[in-house]
Amino acid sequence: MRIIIIGPYPPPYGGISIHCQRLYNYLKNYGYDIKFYDDYLLPKMSFLVLLINYVRNKKNDTSPNIFKQTEAIDYESLNGFLKLFCRLILFERKSGTIIHFHKKNWKYRALICLASKINRNLNIIFTLHSLREEIEKVPYLTNLYIKYIFKSNSRYIAVSEEIKRKIIKWGATEKKIAVIPAFLPPFIDQEDIKKIHGKIWEFLEKKSPIISANASKIQFFNNQDLYGLDISIELCSELVKKIPDLGFIFCLSDKGDEEYFNKLQQRIDDLKIRENFLFITNSLPFYPILMKSDVFIRPTNTDGDALSIREALYFKIQVISSDVVERPEGVILFRNRDLSDLVLKTMDILDKQEENKRMYQKENYENNVDKIIKEYDKLVSNNRN
């Protein structure tokens, strides 16, 4: 079986890119014939730019290749969907080839399905890591893409029951859907730990207890701070009044909105918690910081099945999270955007850490990689029949 993963590869570090990286590593260790295409640059390059680069490359051979090969893994960085599409239909001719697609774009999903119609050797499986849209509100053309995708021979991995229910409502066939959380246990890598610079270790050693949170980048949903950076700062301010040595680390792979980030920095200064609240704004592995934390906070105002929550539970770190979606067993919930409830629940966790621990046991954690491989087998078997 040949497996091609298409999705983001870190850096930047985010839930989907980490999932893709770990999935690649597990499948590689299992001995599969596997290829990774990084989609990070796909939306950044238009067809016109690709054409200009191609012409320049022909003239003086100085333009970077559209596909960037790395030595570490069988990996190429895509900055043009057209070339990916052509490569899939022309060169991926091995029978039973799996395309595991992680990009959150309905147009690209539809084109991948079209590629499988042209090249019958391709078998498509989509992982839906989140689904914030409502079918009634999507544009007409997007609606056509969705209908085409769900009528195809593809299979779907929903990271939560909520996403499964939603795509069934949108037209997906239930028997083609598997619910598999995105979390895959990390490979503890000394190289990852070395990437955490001295300033962070100094903060972790000086402060106690440690609260951590993370986000891929600043985003807004319903005109609110999606990842709850603002409420995290307010939480820290309230907790420091009772626990002066408390430390709060918020890892942000990409600022995304410089103006809003500067406002947050000003708020930290206004509240006089600069010594207690540390923003990390470069793309670093999160799990080494998480392992040193006492509590992990997930104050999002919408969500999928958050990989960071399951990772915290895996490391037996206590978790408090907003109640916007169903959360895994062991998570303490607070009312969405309710600072007073968040403060109350966090203080309760910090006061009674041992009593509140209801964690998954590491040795009993479900192997989601094996579940994904079973979906690959079903996909190929059903398409052959």
Q: CA 253, CA 154: separation in Å to the nearest integer?
A: 32
* Together in a domain, 26 and 124: yes
Residue 332 has what DSSP assignment?
A: E
| pLDDT for position 40 | 57
Domain interval for residue 283: 190-363
**pLDDT at residue 84 in the model:** 81
The owner of tokens 């539970």 is: 313
Question: 38: which 2 tokens?
Answer: 């990084």
Q: Tell me 377's DSSP state.
A: H
169 and 266 assigned to the same domain: no
Same domain, 165 and 229: no
Q: Are residues 228 and 321 in the same domain?
A: yes
**Which pLDDT score, from 0 to 100, does residue 60 have?**
41
Q: Which range among 63-77, 249-263, 292-306, 363-377 shows the weakest confidence by mean pLDDT?
A: 63-77
Q: What is the CATH number of the domain that holds 132?
A: 3.40.50.2000
Q: What is the pLDDT of residues 134-143, one digit of tens each?
A: 777 889 999 9
Within 10 A of 294 (CB to CB), how many other CB atoms are there?
16
Query: What's the rounded Cα separation, in Å, for the pair 147 and 143?
Result: 6
If one compares 319 and 55, the residue with the highest pLDDT of the two is 319
- Amino acid (one-letter) located at 163: I
Structure confidence at residue 245 (pLDDT): 96
pLDDT tens-digit map of 268-286: 999 999 999 999 998 888 9
Domain count, the chain: 2
Confidence of residue 161 (pLDDT cuts 50, 70, 90): very high
SS3 370: helix
Strand 97-101 to 2-7 pairing: parallel
Instruction: Please indicate, yes or no, whether residues 256 and 316 belong to a single structural domain of this protein.
Output: yes
